[in-house]
Amino acid sequence: MRTNITKKFFKQGSEFLKVKFPILCGAMAWVSTPELVAAVANSNGFGCLAAANTPADILEKQVNKTRELTDKPFGINLITISPSYHEQLYLSQWMKLPYVIFAGSIPKKNEVKIIKESGAKVICFASTKSIADQMIRYGADALILEGMEAGGHVGRVTLSVLLQQVLFETRDVPIFVAGGIVSPKMCAHLLLMGAAGVQMGTRFAISEESCIHQDMKKLYIRSNSRDAISVPQYDARLPVVPVRTLRNKGFDDFSDLQQKLIEQLNSGKISRFKAQIQMEKYWNGALKNAVQKGDIETGSMMAGQSVGMIKDIPKVSTIMEDLITGIESELLLIKKLL
């Protein structure tokens, strides 16, 4: 950084995360490997290891591997609805991880307390104002305010609304923002609004260090923002967790499956329970197949709407350098205009 202006607006987030730049790489299942997390950390950003459904013994190895690759701070993201969640929670406690991020659903108050008592800072996702307020009451040390523009599992409220409802009204904890962010100019203006930092997923997923299959990366950089859409739900009897992904054959087939199951429900040919099981089984392994095998036809191609702005596959260090340079330039321009 050539001036102190960026340092000024980075101060809150940098001090909280103990990194030079409060730019977070979102935790992405099968993508946020130790290698990617370490690359972000070694570029002075904040990487997040995705626990997802990983068994505790394998997750322990991933944590140790990340520690071998970097001596910088990083976080671990726990999905509260994961089958391995409670084992991962215990692991995070005894391994003395400095930052634990709760995602997927609302963690219990005592679970937040357990992690805080281990000495870790607790960060919680918030996709609505009510969740943000509840997480602060539960003792969260910081929030990630995520709009529905993001990739993967998302809420139903846009970031522009959440900024007004939460960021502008809350000063109790540092608030990082996420959802459709890729431009350094956007980052600069979010910092001016009071954000402690920003989180990006898709931008780092499309990097050299990302383990995503090359066919998947190539499709990403050919895609437009409108191609990243949320999986629809057609009937309240068959709830669908909102997931933003690129539309492909797998996406369309899932829509057909829902309509078929609704017809069977209406005719009494299938129970609601069995129909829900069929829906949940449909996406089993779809994300892994896309990431590792390049299955871009039927795999789950999770991506934020920012995908339409990404047209290259640079190194993580280049992404960070471009972000910081661009943020600084925009802040200096605004200062000059004022």
pLDDT of residue 146: 97
Pairing status of strand 243-246 against strand 228-230: antiparallel
Q: Quick check: 308 pLDDT over 70?
A: yes
User: Would you state the CATH architecture of domain 5-212+307-337?
Assistant: Alpha-Beta Barrel (3.20)
* Nearest residue to 207 via CA among 293, 314, 122, 294: 314
pLDDT band at 244 (very low <50, low <70, confident <90, very high): very high
Q: Quick check: 71 pLDDT over 90?
A: yes
Whole-model pTM?
Answer: 0.94
Q: 72-130 pLDDT, tens per residue?
A: 999 999 999 899 999 999 999 999 899 999 998 899 999 999 999 999 999 999 999 99
Q: 121-159 pLDDT, tens per residue?
A: 999 999 999 999 999 999 999 999 999 999 999 999 999
Query: Are the CB atoms for 289 and 295 separated by under 8 Å?
Result: yes
Give the whole-angstrom CA distance, residue 151 versus residue 96.
29
* CATH 3.20.20.70 domain range(s) in the chain: 5-212+307-337
pLDDT of residue 252: 94
pLDDT of residue 241: 85
Average pLDDT, the chain: 95
Beta bridge partners, 245, equal 229, 302
Q: Quick check: 280 pLDDT over 90?
A: no
> What is the b/e burial string over 261-289, where b = at least 16 CB atoms within 10 angstroms of the residue's CB?
bbeebeeeebeeeebbeebeeebeebbeb
pLDDT of residue 4: 84
In the chain, the percentage of residues whose pLDDT exceeds 70 is 99
Q: Mean pLDDT over residues 167-182, rounded?
A: 96
Dig out the tokens for 259 from the structure: 């309509």
Q: Quick check: 338 pLDDT over 90?
A: no
Q: Mean pLDDT over residues 199-215, rounded?
A: 97
Q: Mean pLDDT over residues 282-292, rounded?
A: 93
Listed in sequence order, the residues at least 6 apart from 278 whose beta carbon sits closer than 8 Å to its beta carbon are: 257, 261
Give the whole-angstrom CA distance, residue 200 versus residue 190.
13
Query: Are the CB atoms for 32 and 25 separated by under 8 Å?
Result: yes
Determine the angle formed by the axes of helices 129-138 and 109-117, rounding to 10 degrees: 50
Q: Quick check: 42 pLDDT over 70?
A: yes
pLDDT of residue 9: 96
Q: Quick check: 1 pLDDT over 60?
A: no
pLDDT of residue 5: 87
Dig out the tokens for 58 from the structure: 């394998």
pLDDT of residue 158: 97
pLDDT of residue 2: 55
pLDDT of residue 21: 97
The DSSP secondary-structure symbol of 106 reads P
